[in-house]
Amino acid sequence: MAKFGDFSVQCRQIPSYPWCNLFYRQIADISNTFFTSASADPKSAPVGVNPDCGILKAGSDGSLGNIANMIVCGLSMVFVLALIMFSGRRKAAVGRVEIRIFLILYFLTLPFQFLSTGAVLEQGTKALVILTAIHAGLVAALFWGLVANALVATQVVEDGTVSSLVPFYFFTVAFFVATLYISLDVALHITDVFGPSNPLSGLHSTPLFILTSIWPGAAALIYFGLMTYIVLAILNEVRPMWYYIISGILFILSQLDYFLLNKVICNGANAKVDGSFVATILETASVGVLYLAWRSITEESWDDDYYVS
């Protein structure tokens, strides 16, 4: 039975779950006999550890890898790059520097998602482990960036100043480095602190589970709670709140698709594609609407656009 901190269920039930790359390497270093079915041959193995459904590595039996999600990641990078440019033009907007850092962090996660979930690199290789570890670090840092933007919006400290940016950068680096190190230790067994799993079948790592599964959800809730307070109680406005609600709904839908529909889509498509590309579309849309929410509360008169004669 799975316990808190186990990845065994996710690595079996969720296609293209990137953190499973770390455990594949861990297991391969200890006992190759653990692998069954598609996972047994690392040259063609899909993302996951003995997954019920997984897209074979690109080039294996004519597989294109996780091509749908790779395309969506590429298009999302173009879209987010445009948002970064637009945010930079708003010179007087509150939190302009901080929102740009958040967008840059999300932009950086996309190519690493492309590589860690795209089934383009052989399972168990150090290259895939390192790229996946960097991806995990960026995800943890990204959600700190989300919380930090909400803290900046409270104007407890002036945005764009040393008192705002130093803590922002410090904790961004701290989340990235801590998650990167833990991820590498899980996969490569650098020390006895974070690996290997005991029992091996549990694919267990409580710190990695907290930083990649619990922390993102908690950060999203903290952000939504703070922004609800700021918009409704401090700004005394309603309309910008709809942007935050829509962004939150899109994020929730992306997670529901990833964790509940991913395998359904994979089975329905005979393991040619899975639901990860839908989740990426929804996540990117959520970031786009979040940008619109930020834009709406940083305009001096955001009602003007609706009453132009």
* 230-244 residue pLDDT tens: 999 999 999 999 999
- Give CA–CA dist 164/160, Å, rounded: 6
Give the least confident one: 128-142, 146-160, 168-182.
Answer: 146-160
> 308 falls in which pLDDT band (50, 70, 90)?
very low
Q: Average pLDDT of 64-93?
A: 93
Tell me what the pLDDT averaged over the chain comes to. 92
First to last CA, the chain: 65
Considering the domain boundaries, does residue 293 fall inside one? no
Q: Is residue 19 part of a domain?
A: yes
Cα(49)–Cα(138) distance, integer angstroms: 23
pLDDT reported for residue 92: 67
Q: Which is higher by pLDDT, 92 or 148?
A: 148
The proportion of the chain whose per-residue pLDDT surpasses 70, expressed as a percent, equals 95
pLDDT of 102 higher than 90:
yes
Residue 164 confidence (pLDDT) above 80? yes
Given a cut of 50, whether residue 142 has pLDDT beyond it is: yes
Residue 6 carries which DSSP code? B
Q: Is residue 306 domain-resident?
A: no
Residue 309, pLDDT > 50, answer no
- Determine the pLDDT at residue 160: 80
Q: How far apart are CA 8 and CA 201, in angstroms?
A: 7
Helix 67-88 vs helix 276-298: crossing angle, to nearest 10: 10
Task: Enter the pTM of the model.
Answer: 0.94
Please list, residue by residue across 241-250, b when 16 or more beta carbons sit within 10 angstroms of its beta carbon and e when fewer do. bebbebbbeb
Q: Is residue 3 part of a domain?
A: no
Look at residue 243 and tell me if it is in a domain: no
Tell me what the mean pLDDT of segment 119-139 comes to: 97
Count of CB atoms situated within 10 Å of the CB of 169: 12
- Residue 301 banded pLDDT, cuts 50, 70, 90: very low
Range(s) of the domain holding residue 14: 8-215
In whole angstroms, give the CA distance from residue 42 to residue 27.
Answer: 12
> Residue 299 has what pLDDT?
63
- For residue 261, tell me if it sits in a domain: no
Pairs from 271-275 (Cβ < 8 Å, separation ≥ 24):
271/15, 271/46, 271/53, 271/54, 271/55, 271/56, 272/55, 272/64, 273/55, 273/66, 273/67, 273/68, 273/69, 274/15, 274/16, 274/53, 274/54, 274/55, 274/66, 274/68, 274/69, 275/15
Structural domains of the chain, count: 1
Query: Is the residue at 131 inside a domain?
Result: yes
Instruction: With respect to residue 41, please indicate whether it lies within any of the assigned structural domains.
Output: yes
Please state, for a pLDDT cut of 90, what percent of the chain lies above it.
Answer: 79
